Amino acid sequence: MTPTRRTLLAAPLALAACDRFASAEPTPPNVPPLKPISPAPFGTAIKALQIDDPDWVALARANVSQLTPEWEMKMEYILANGLDRPNFDRSDRIAAFAQAEGMALHGHTLIWYSQGKEAFASLSGAAFDRAFDGYIATVAGRYRGKVRSWDVVNEPILDDGSGMRDCHWSARYGHDGYILRAFEQARAADPEAVLFLNEYNQESVPAKGAQFLKLVERLLKVGCPLQGLGLQSHLWIDIQPGVIAAFMREAAQFGLPIHVSELDCTLRTEDRLDFRSQAERLTAQSARVAELARAFAALPRAQQFAFTVWGLRDTDSWYRQGDKDDGKDEPLPFDSFGRPNPMAAALAAGFGGQ
């Protein structure tokens, strides 16, 4: 969810060695590959360096039919050298890998409140407009025919749901205006791609979920070419039972395709007095993930766009990067050795309606 925390993949063997809990826990029995049992394309986030990891590639081939670049298709990377020198080396590599493996590609993301401020800082007026429109035309146009879909705008709503985020884009075009303009430019650049609005915590923060639905309603009312809803689903274990499914039903009211776009489920809590065992935390995680999978599987087939996890192995997760990693979190379907976690079993059960 933040650009600085999604760092590049460290050496797989070193991560596995640090994952001291992986071999101590039993592997759930008889968990099938996720790709064939998912009701829609099953996806994962990808970093370009993972293409060089044969273990990751083998795991992806068995379980994945769609890829989302985790960071290297974002503005922060593409414009690292400035507006006049866009950098597509890693996003091109991911696109070529997806094509070679017969996997769909979901573009992520064109416009995000947290990126682009430095690149656009010296621009104003018509020059700002040309750069905004030109960036979308260049990026979406480059991958026309290669991506299935785009997250056109990412995370426009405040965390507490009290309103829309102020950012350099909204300062020029207004809160809804920059979103509408981005979708219109994306539609012009790639008429065939399915265009998504992507957001997190709609399920777990009621005010944010309500704000998201109101935004979708406003955009559709003014003719925005919004075609799909991205529910990131960065879950945590203490979301109350039934809340995830209830929001999925609310989001489905628009009849638009729904993409579970960035699923992970951390075992961490902010309660220092939470003394639950690892097994108890995994049980709570399984319940939340299975509820999400069941809710997605219950959607009308036309609205089941894709189901994406934000990484395959625990050690690939942004939760497991940096010096705060204690080796205990298991936010993804597979452990560092590629063995199914309880989360994989929960997904399989949820997809099967159990």
User: Sorting pLDDT into bands at 50, 70 and 90, what band is 353?
Assistant: low
Q: CA 173, 201, 313: angle at the middle one, nearest 5?
A: 115
- With H, G, I as helix, E, B as strand and everything else as coil, classify residue 198: strand
CB 265 within 8 A of CB 204: no
Closest CA to 311 of 3, 30, 6: 6
On the 0-12 / 13-18 / 19+ scale of CB atoms within 10 A, 207 is: middle
Which tokens sit at 287?
Answer: 């319940």
- Which band of pLDDT confidence, cut at 50, 70 and 90, is reported for residue 19? very low
Contacts of 59 (CB under 8 A, 6+ apart): 312, 313, 334, 338
CA-based end-to-end distance of the chain: 30
| 215 sits in which H/E element | helix 206-221
User: Is the Cβ–Cβ distance between 181 and 153 less than 8 Å?
Assistant: no
What residues pair up with 258 in beta bridges, in sequence order?
229, 304
Confidence of residue 28 (pLDDT cuts 50, 70, 90): confident
Q: What is the pLDDT of residues 165-200, one digit of tens each?
A: 999 999 999 999 999 999 999 999 999 999 999 999
Angle at which helix 175-189 crosses helix 125-142, to 10 degrees, equals 40
Judge residue 114's burial from the number of C-beta atoms within 10 Å of its C-beta, 0-12 exposed, 13-18 middle, 19 or more buried.
Answer: middle
Per the CB < 8 A criterion, the answer to whether 82 and 135 are in contact is no
Q: Is 148 helix (H, G, I), strand (E, B) or coil?
A: coil
Q: Note the pLDDT of residue 6.
A: 36
pTM strictly above 0.75: yes
Confidence of residue 1 (pLDDT cuts 50, 70, 90): low
Q: Which of 71, 100, 99, 101 is nearest to 87 (CA)?
A: 71
CA–CA gap between residue 69 and residue 211 (Å, rounded): 27
Domains parsed from the chain with CATH numbers: 12-351 (3.20.20.80)
Q: How far apart are CA 163 and CA 23, in angstroms?
A: 45
Task: Decide: 168 and 116 in contact? Cβ < 8 Å.
Answer: yes
Please tell me the predicted confidence (pLDDT) of residue 25: 60
**How many angstroms separate the Cα of 6 from the Cα of each of 188, 225, 238, 245, 312?**
30, 30, 24, 28, 14
- What letters, b where the CB count within 10 A reaches 16 and e where it falls short, cover 131-152? bbbebbeebbebbeebbbbbbb
User: Residue 199: beta bridge partners?
Assistant: 231
pLDDT in tens, 87-115: 999 999 999 999 999 999 999 999 999 99
Residue 13 — pLDDT band, cuts 50, 70, 90?
Answer: very low
